[in-house]
A = this chain, B = another copy of it.
Amino acid sequence: MKSDIEIAREAKLKKISEIAKEIGIDEEYIEPYGKFIAKVNLNFLKKISERKDGKLILVTAITPTPAGEGKTTTSIGLSMALNKLGKKSIVTLREPSLGPVFGIKGGAAGGGYSQVLPMENINLHFTGDIHAISSAHNLISAVIDSHIKFGNELKINPAKVFWKRTMDMNDRALRQIVVGLGGNTNGLPREDGFIITAASEIMAILCLAKDLKDLKERLGNIVLAESFDKKLIKVRDLKIEGALTVLLKDAIKPNLVQTIENTPAFIHGGPFANIAHGTNSIISTKMALKLADYVVTEAGFAADLGAEKYLDFVTQVANFNVNAVVLVATIKALKYHGGVNKNDLSKENVDAMLKGMDNLKTHIENLKLYNVPVVVALNVFPTDTENELKAFSNNCNAPHAFLRAFQMGSEGAIDLAKLVTENISETPHTPIVNFNMSIEEKLETLATKIYRAKKVIYTDKAKSKLKFLKRHGFENLPVIVAKTQSSISDDPKKINAPKNYDFTIRDFELSAGAGFVVALAGEIMRMPGLSKIPNATNIDIDEDGNIIGLS
């Protein structure tokens, strides 16, 4: 099969103004970035705000394995297939981060015959949203250190600055650093570090903000540091929430692109799915819901992380209703959960696959707690055997379809699309976590119902941080659990369907601007590193501007 970039280059793209016109966005609201990408002015959302929402389909997956699952290609393929069935459908996705593009993972614009285009631009600087977030984030840091240097009126304790710097790069050398060296001219030395921009609270904020006013409010609420007299220092105390909002004035506008089959796609925002909520911006999904019959959106990592956060948190903030969930699985991944070594996943092994289906079943059971229809998409690989596929069908206790969107585009997703349209719920889904519960109640609910733990254990550090949160009035914030994506539990080694274990909360972090508390149930990497031979060494461009090595 051809490489992603070869397939992408052969596609015939429509001008983005045409794509916009087809979904009813007037020319005056379109701000083009090149011929094939546009931002949509937020005034358009105001104009169409009274329209009825389309149906929202959430794409999620079983617990990820080294074999991959293909959520993004599924989302793109499903949306293209819905369009082929004569439905108006828009897919809304997250923006790729540059770090992984040059690191190990490559791009995030789908793959094969289910891509969003122009993939080169989407995978590179795109419309500059992530750069804008980096600038806003780092302006805060520069102002903090400058404030400390020039008299420190707010009495910021340099040892209690929670706000790290950021860069959209896989750069492990920046994880832990000392800044402000070189004497008084350069300020005061203190420990600091960089996180990747996707992990910035500003990324989460941008994806949750309803409009410019809400954005500014949330930015002002960010808690940065503690003062020597134990007060919390917010962005608002530095008086720069206006400047930050100015830096984000274009980043807040949804990005419109097209799929390889010229159907519309919004690619906007990309927060992590462990320390944040892991899905594209509320604004872009809201806009899509006003324009389409079906909106297909994707949540990061597996269902216990991305889908849980979407169904419990994002939908309550955004006032969305999810009408169906598509749960992606692969035969290979099921075999991995069934105990097969990652080098043997191409060999037929029906028994292991059946064993690994416990992971799938757990996610299905979990999702049904939300009173939402679940459709399973089995993403078919060339190595899957007839026996395996048949055994899967016979043992899958939910409506399911075989998917070949990577190899065939919409044609490979037609069965799934039909199945989804037949399984759309008309009644609202029901979150299992109520915003009014205490932090502990929320965690108890998630740990026992979703993560299948016996009980929640809090380390001393977590207990002390919980007191801190309560003292400062944050005891009723929504809770975002940061845990491994490799297991339903808090232990990456527990594959398949762990249960009856102790779920340990090690620490809490406050994202007061985004409006949630992060409960840390594991080591979470906020700044990835490059591999020994990074993907950057494979990427090149010729004299005419043709790129190779991007995928």
Q: Which residues of A contact B (CB under 8 A)?
A: 31-35, 39, 42, 98, 102, 120-121, 124-125, 128, 131-132, 134-135, 138-139, 141-143, 145-146, 149-151, 165, 167-182, 185-187, 192, 211-213, 216, 238-240, 242-243, 245-247, 249-250, 529-532, 534, 536-537, 539-545, 547, 549-550
Contact = CB atoms under 8 A, between A and B. Distances in A.
Nearest to A167: B138
Given A537-B239, A541-B249, A145 B125 contact: no
Report which residue of A138, A146, A170, A542 has the largest number of chain B beta carbons within 10 angstroms of its beta carbon: A146
A143 B530 contact: yes
Contacts of A150: 532
Number of this chain's copies in the assembly equals: 2
A543 B31 contact: no
Contact of A178 (B168, B181, B543): B181
Given A128-B125, A534-B146, A171 B541 contact: no
A532 B146 contact: yes
B247 A124 contact: yes
Given A33-B33, A139-B536, A211 B543 contact: yes
Given A135-B125, A178-B181, A540 B187 contact: no
Contacts of A172: 145-146, 149, 180, 185-187
Q: Which 5 A-B pairs have the closest CB atoms?
A: A242-B540, A176-B182, A131-B131, A145-B173, A243-B536
Nearest to A178: B178
A142 B171 contact: yes
A187 B173 contact: yes
A174 B216 CA distance: 27
B249 A547 contact: yes
A141 B125 CA distance: 19
A31 B38 CA distance: 11
